[in-house]
């Protein structure tokens, strides 16, 4: 089955530092990747959609300069939280889809804690 690897699973960082989260499709080409943010017991909030080789499309209210998304290849997308602050602490999840695919394949998520 299709596997999406997300790394790291958890990260603790100091306020003001930047954190990079990687999302890799291991056995398929992910033409589209999605990044979500989830607070405890809440829904997944879509942050942005990225297509390989294109700039990401951000949802309303998501700061593109703060959450940098790069989708340089068909198997890798990265989310960089720049100058992280405590309010950025959350669970971040990526998902991937093949071209015109119906199913989404999710990474296992990254718990970010900013001190």
Partner 1 sequence: SQQGEEDPQALSIQEGENATMNCSYKTSINNLQWYRQNSGRGLVHLILIRSNEREKHSGRLRVTLDTSKKSSSLLITASRAADTASYFCAPSSGGSYIPTFGRGTSLIVHP
Interface residues with partner 1 (CB under 8 A)?
4, 6, 34, 36, 41-44, 46, 49, 91, 93-95, 99-109, 111
Rounded Cα distance between 48 and 34, Å, is 6
Shortest Å, Cβ 106 to partner 1: 3
Tell the smallest beta-carbon distance from residue 88 to partner 1 (Å).
18
Q: How many CA atoms lie within 13 A of 91 on its CB side?
A: 11
Nearer to partner 1, 36 or 67 (CB): 36
Nearer Cβ to partner 1, position 52 or 101? 101
Give, in degrees to the nearest 5, the angle at Cα 36 between 31 and 40. Answer: 155
CB of 94 to partner 1, least distance (A): 8
Q: Is the Cβ–Cβ distance between 77 and 30 less than 8 Å?
A: yes
């Amino acid at each position: 089955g299709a596997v999406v690897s997300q790394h790291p699973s958890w990260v603790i960082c100091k306020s003001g530092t930047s954190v990079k989260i990687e999302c890799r499709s291991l056995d398929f080409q992910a033409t589209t990747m999605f990044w979500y943010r989830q607070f405890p017991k809440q829904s997944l909030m879509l942050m942005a959609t990225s297509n390989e080789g294109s700039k990401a499309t951000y949802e309303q209210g998501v700061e593109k300069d703060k959450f940098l998304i790069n989708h340089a290849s068909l198997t890798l997308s990265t989310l960089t939280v720049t100058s992280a602050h405590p309010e950025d602490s959350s669970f971040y999840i990526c998902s991937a889809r093949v071209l015109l695919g119906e199913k989404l394949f999710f990474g296992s998520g990254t718990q970010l804690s900013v001190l």
